[in-house]
Amino acid sequence: MNRDTSRDLYDRALDSLPGGVNSSVRAAPVPYPTFVRSGEDGHVVDADGNRYVDWVMGLGPLLLGHSLPDRVTSAIQSRTADGPMFGMPTELEVEHAEFVTRHVPSVEMVRFVNSGTEATVSAVRLARGYTGREKVVVMESGYHGAQESTLVEGQGEPSSPGIPASFAEHTLPVPFNDPEAAHEVFEEHGDDIAAVLVEPVLANKGIVEPEPGYHETLRDLADDHGALLVWDEVITGFRVGGLQCAQGKYGFDPDLTTFGKIIGGGFPVGAIGGKTEIMNEFTPSGDVFQAGTFSGHPVTMAAGLETLRYAAEEDVYDHVNGLGDQLRSGLEDVVEDQAPQYSVVGTDSLFKVVFTRDGERPRNGGDVGDASVERWNRVFRPQMQDRGIMLSQNQFESQFVAAGHTEEDVERTIEAYADAL
């Protein structure tokens, strides 16, 4: 497989972009990232013309795949033709918010922003403003974007230079699926905790599903101590649990929910949703400042809303979840046969093989970090790419099924795993 153009582009990019990329994970593949020329259905074509089955799917936003249905394309094109944006409201923002509030049980109001990071930043500020408290509980290895309040590990140490220790000390990380640790943190800091921020399923560090009762524990602790429960559904929203999101699937009623990825139909987006009483604390109805030049961008709103309407009217979720089941069960057979120490993980249209060392399904992000990460990155992933299968860019990111994928894509992928493992 000739990948010289990608190599040359990366070489060139290293002079003008730090690390050669605009988002860190894109530089994870060895020996250099693959530059993309175009996409079609469930496939991408790289800068050298090589075609791959693509399971990156934009890192989650592309529920429909790379070829958008005509109605989505025309919604985007006609919106663009009317002028890109105005800084004044448009009807589309109202319609999109109505769609989300109609389908997601806990969400009564929505504030649109421009990225998942911006959504979690604003949700944390809102929770702090609403409760008058400063501390937030997060999950170790949970991911809530590139933001100061959540890039924290261990006993509240910043996980990146540039984050003041005085900032990080207000963040309390606990291991996912560990009710004891959650009880302890609330016993110690209960009166100061504004919110618990949690992904329903850890989807940025392996894929770790909640154990029965874990989310109930967080809900009860938050209620007992007057803290808000914030579900970060930036990945799971409109993917896990379909139109009701993961909170519909698991039967939960968070106080606030953050969204991103799918709701923008492939354009930059984020949103905060929740109960009216809390959401009205945002300016201008309340006092918690929140604003953005591009927020509720008309082209994004058109793309996101038309994508979600299409998913509501066509059998998109049956299709992607069905292929997800086929992938997971096919990969289970391969792993059982050839690498019983590895674990097949995922739900709905998320899937992954984590290179665990003992065949135990990971219970939290720490377990995923202890897996054979180097083998996955350096030995396994490049072999899959040589076989025409584009997996996630590191061992930790999820892989995503889209409406554009076919059973043939699934079969080819399972065969390639069997061949490469």
Which residues are part of the catalytic machinery? 143, 232, 261
Question: Where do we find the tokens 């207000």?
Answer: 170
- Residue 198 binds ligand PLP (CB under 6 A): no
| Interface size with ligand PLP, residues (CB under 6 A) | 15
**Position 128: which residue type?**
R
Nearer Cβ to ligand PLP (116/296):
116
Contact 114, 175 (CB under 8 A): no
Q: Which stretch binds ligand PLP (CB under 6 A): 46-54, 196-204, 314-322, 335-343?
A: 196-204
**Positive or negative, the Cα torsion across 66, 68, 72, 75?**
positive
| Distance of closest approach, residue 344 Cβ to ligand PLP, in angstroms | 21
Residues 6+ apart with CB under 8 A from 330: 410, 411, 414
Judged by CB under 6 A, which of 50, 120, 171, 393 binds ligand PLP?
120
Contact 372, 357 (CB under 8 A): yes
Q: How many CB atoms lie within 10 A of CB 124?
A: 27
- Residue 324 binds ligand PLP (CB under 6 A): no
Judged by CB under 6 A, which of 42, 145, 304, 404 binds ligand PLP?
145
Interacting residues with ligand PLP between 271 and 290 (CB under 6 A): none
Judged by CB under 6 A, which of 117, 131, 290, 343 binds ligand PLP?
117
Q: How many residues can be counted in the chain?
A: 421
Nearer Cβ to ligand PLP (2/22):
22
Q: Which residue is nearest to ligand PLP (CB)?
A: 116
Supply 97's token pair: 């918010």
- Residue 307 binds ligand PLP (CB under 6 A): no
- Residue 234 binds ligand PLP (CB under 6 A): yes
DSSP state of 108: S
Question: How many alpha carbons fall within 13 Å on the CB side of residue 334?
Answer: 20
- Residue 130 binds ligand PLP (CB under 6 A): no
Distance CA 272, CA 107 (A): 9
Q: Which stretch binds ligand PLP (CB under 6 A): 85-93, 110-118, 160-168, 403-411?
A: 110-118
- Residue 200 binds ligand PLP (CB under 6 A): no
- Residue 317 binds ligand PLP (CB under 6 A): no
- Residue 349 binds ligand PLP (CB under 6 A): no
CA 111-113-116 angle, to 5 degrees, is: 110
Residues 6+ apart with CB under 8 A from 373: 355, 394, 395
Q: Is 66 helix (H, G, I), strand (E, B) or coil?
A: coil
- Residue 399 binds ligand PLP (CB under 6 A): no
Angle between helices 179-189 and 214-225 (to 10 degrees): 10
Q: What is the largest CA-CA distance in the chain?
A: 60
Judged by CB under 6 A, which of 6, 50, 106, 115 binds ligand PLP?
115
- Residue 215 binds ligand PLP (CB under 6 A): no
Contact 196, 227 (CB under 8 A): yes
- Residue 116 binds ligand PLP (CB under 6 A): yes
Supply 242's token pair: 């379909």
- Residue 348 binds ligand PLP (CB under 6 A): no
Nearer Cβ to ligand PLP (342/396):
396
Distance CA 376, CA 369 (A): 12
Nearer Cβ to ligand PLP (79/205):
205
Nearer Cβ to ligand PLP (50/398):
398
Nearer Cβ to ligand PLP (50/236):
236
Applying CB under 6 A, the residues found at the interface with ligand PLP are 115-117, 120, 143-145, 199, 203-204, 232, 234-235, 260, 270
